[in-house]
Amino acid sequence: MKAGSDKLLVPGFLMPGDTIGIVAPSSPFDMENFRRGVAVLEDMGFHVHAPEGLFKKSAYLAGSDSHRARMVNLLFSNAKIKGIVCARGGFGAMRILSLLNYEIIIKNPKFFIGFSDISAILSALYTRCGLITFHGPMVSSLGRATQRTKDALRSALLGDKKIEIRLKSGVTIQSGATRGPVIGGNLTTLVHLMGTPFMPSFKGHILFLEDRGEAAYRIDRMLTQMKMAGCFDGILGLALGYFNARNRMHEIFKIVAHVFTGLNIPILAGFDVGHGRTNLTLPLGLPAALDADAHVLQYS
């Protein structure tokens, strides 16, 4: 069950021919990458709606805060839109959290997909609405994504099979198995939600974390701050995705082992989720079984 609410909203699966709306809640995006991503969604059998105003730019943002929030609200309120995929991350999502119309979103639950900076919105939708969201690829990265990435996204949208990720080269940091709803996303973004009303509680959840190119000491600092703030109290397990630091991943594993010392939870690293060419789709808020020894995360 979601943090801070007694009701979970599960969006309906899509069907071929349904319309997916594109939104840019953070930074502007490259047009050629955008076109390639749209072509991928169309090849999957979906219609794509690019609303007027999608291509606005304001320095490092895709338009003003009010504009970006309005775009999100409009897509949720549009009954013809069955799912929403973000165009790009970057920065800016947290600036619009107080401007989103959560009443409209609760009345119109639908697929909402993104990662990286979009983790702020994924967390807010879960915390405020109880909406199951999806940590997955965005339009600007789909054109160069692997086939596994595309297949995983399409399968999640259609709901044609249960989601199961078995790691061929997983790393067991702490042994064990557990079961609970998955929560989390980009580490840096989640740290910056601390102290705000949009920070979710991780208690009773399997926590998933990923990040991009952060130095080992910065990951240490962020995890240590979250531990000191009590963010990890009561978590059931930990799953780690890409950190884009393969030549020093052993350092990150040592940091994680140190920070989570004393917590008797399974910790499994090596998920192809996050800032890599392969970025598998993870539902956030749905229950799953994590087995750190068998190297598997399996949703019900």
Q: Mean pLDDT throughout 112-141?
A: 98
Answer yes or no: CATH 3.20.20.140 is held by domain 164-299.
Answer: no
DSSP 209: E
What average pLDDT does the structure give for the chain?
95
Would you call 32 a catalytic residue per the annotation?
no
CATH number of 19-158: 3.40.50.10740
pLDDT over 70 (residue 102): yes
* pLDDT tens digits for range 43-68: 999 999 999 999 999 999 999 999 99
Q: Where are the beta strands (DSSP E) in 40-149?
A: 47-49, 81-86, 111-114, 133-135
Please, which pLDDT band fits residue 2 given cuts at 50, 70 and 90?
A: very low
Give ranges for CATH 3.40.50.10740 in the chain.
19-158
Is 275 catalytic? The answer is yes
Q: Annotated catalytic residue: which of 123, 135, 205, 275?
A: 275
Query: pLDDT exceeding 70 applies to what percent of the chain?
Result: 97
The number of residues making up the chain comes to 300
What's the rounded Cα separation, in Å, for the pair 128 and 5? 8
Q: To 10 degrees, what angle do helices 216-228 and 249-259 make?
A: 20
Q: What is the pLDDT of residue 3?
A: 44
The answer, yes or no, to whether residue 245 has pLDDT greater than 80, is no
Q: What is the mean pLDDT of residues 137-163?
A: 96
Per-residue pLDDT, averaged over 96-123, amounts to 98
Amino acid found at 90: G
Q: Assess whether 210 carries a catalytic annotation.
A: yes
Given the residues 116, 119, 123, 141, the one annotated as active site? 116
Q: Which of 253, 78, 270 is nearest to 170 (CA)?
A: 270
Residue pair 141/114 in contact (Cβ under 8 Å)? The answer is no
Q: CATH 3.50.30.60 occupies which residues in the chain?
A: 164-299
How many CB atoms are located within 10 Å of the residue 107 CB?
12
Active-site residue, selected from the candidate residues 26, 140, 141, 210? 210
Q: What is the pLDDT of residue 95?
A: 98
